[in-house]
Structure 1
């Protein structure tokens, strides 16, 4: 009975090892784990003993994987490999009905393809920045922002928010927050219909409240392990409320973008999102809200971030609004 138990454990252990991806290095070392992505010259291997390990692809002799991976050799040359088998030095064999042996040096990217429909995918991040200056003029600056996305079936829900506060010599010079909620219904793999609610509140500027309800079609250019890019065309009902009590109520059309891209083996993320709008009659000439920034992953869940935010309203009867804000701080990612 004992020998049977030991045999079962040995078979299970061998099966687990067989399912792991393996990377052979030119110096003779062999590493096992799960290949998650190759980009920017770095192959990321998720391990149980060291977390996510970046490997210089120039040091890889060959590798194998039991997972389905998308292998890109050029701008338009890509194929899904059901498995990847080890080959001669400097080569790998892609298996997908037909075997194809390629040079490792010719491979530009390896990513895990995402299914069109998933049961539930939830991801997000929180970025916080604090700045305290003690001099002739004391300054306290706080900024916190979050973004979270959940997708189930053909539905995707996105919620974002941000709070800014700055004081100088105990006098508040900046105090505002933004909340945004969007729901998308995917009609095809790429096309979706978007509906969203947006609320901005500013306790300092003349434009103290903005309320926007919008809907329109969107197109998802890509959404994979290395990032995502989508554009949305919206027709909005926009309400401006100014500090003197005056109101602007109008319909507007806008284009919204959301782009992020991981670089250097998913250690650096470039991101930008925003909306450019134009009233359909009267009121302001245009409005712009945009963010652009970088995140550097320190661990699997912690990051450093640098961001620029810009809010602009041009041609309003109550004057123009043009503010730019720079923040740097720490973040959490899941």
Structure 2
């Protein structure tokens, strides 16, 4: 019985070691864990002793894995490697059966787990929900739901976001609006991209019932990796307004959009800010600002708590707007 128990323990240990990925660093250190992804110059290794560890790709000597991984050496050239084997410094061996191939680490642009349909698809996003109930001289119920998601495939990136807000004061509906935006980025180089976007806003309470915006322009991706991303885009836009009294307006504008997020404290806390600031070309306003900023705290791998501040401001126009909203809520991410 003792021999059998020892044999089972040995087999379990051997099985664990077999399925552990190993990374050798140029300074001689060796790390074991699970390779999650390599993108943006960072190899993300998940460990049971230090959590998720981002490693600088330039500091890695070689690596190995017994899992099937997609190795991309260009935007469209990808190869499924059944396993990775250790090689001399600066190289790795891709094992695909009878013909193993040795490649330079410097030639690899991405490593990820293959997807069933689109192999090199990376998809991230989150949905946040916040509720605010206030019982005082005036009872207030406020509901807010918003989402943000990105999908990247080759040179293309799809961006979608939306928000729905409803508020009641003494059981009378005082706010009821929603908005949605879709933007498509085509990367010209690793950093420069061209964006086309469309945005639609609907308000069932205010005089301005509908807003439609179409825009296009260049952008620059400063970085985009497992620890965060930052991009700027300069757009030329056309905006159409529909009012509740039947009147319509349209104008052209120039704007700058930003999208920034950064993970802190071992990826348990995320700071993020997105927004757009623009100026109409017909000088009907000095500027318009629509932005949000906040923090997310990851409770689990998929659940988070969030606190956000949203700013909507139009200066220099007839009927200036200056609104700030604060929300605290719960979210899910992927």
Give the TM-score, by structure 2 length.
Answer: 0.71
Q: Which secondary structure state, in structure 2, belongs to the residue aligned with residue 13 of structure 1?
A: helix
2:55 to 69, 74, 84: 69
Deviation at 1:291, TM superposition (A): 0.7
Is 1:81 aligned with 2:60?
yes
CA contact (8 A) 2:23 2:62 kept: no
Distance 2:148 2:140 in 1: 27
CA contact (8 A) 1:69 1:83 kept: no
Partner of 2:326: 326
Deviation at 1:114, TM superposition (A): 6.4
Distance 2:109 2:170 in 1: 52
CA contact (8 A) 2:21 2:32 kept: no
Deviation at 1:33, TM superposition (A): 2.9
Closer, same or farther: CA 141–114 of 1 in aligned 2, 3 Å: farther
CA contact (8 A) 2:185 2:194 kept: yes
Partner of 2:185: 184
Distance 2:89 2:243 in 1: 62
Distance 1:293 1:206 in 2: 30
CA contact (8 A) 2:120 2:154 kept: yes
RMSD across aligned positions (CA): 3.4
Distance 2:290 2:209 in 1: 15
Partner of 2:68: none
Closer, same or farther: CA 96–220 of 1 in aligned 2, 3 Å: farther
Deviation at 1:173, TM superposition (A): 1.6
**Segment of structure 1 superposing worse, 307-316 or 155-164:** 307-316
Structure 1: segments with no counterpart, 5+ residues: 1-5, 23-30, 38-43, 58-67, 72-78, 85-94, 99-112
Deviation at 1:241, TM superposition (A): 2.7
Q: Which secondary structure state, in structure 2, belongs to the residue aligned with residue 236 of structure 1?
A: strand
Partner of 2:275: 274
Give the TM-score, by structure 1 length.
Answer: 0.71
Distance 2:240 2:59 in 1: 48
Distance 1:137 1:127 in 2: 26
Distance 2:308 2:142 in 1: 14
CA contact (8 A) 1:295 1:306 kept: yes
Deviation at 1:258, TM superposition (A): 0.2
Correspondences of 1:293-308 after superposition (within 5 Å):
293-308=294-309
Distance 2:266 2:12 in 1: 35
Partner of 1:19: 21
Partner of 1:130: 131
CA contact (8 A) 1:201 1:210 kept: yes
Closer, same or farther: CA 11–142 of 1 in aligned 2, 3 Å: closer
Is 1:115 aligned with 2:110?
yes
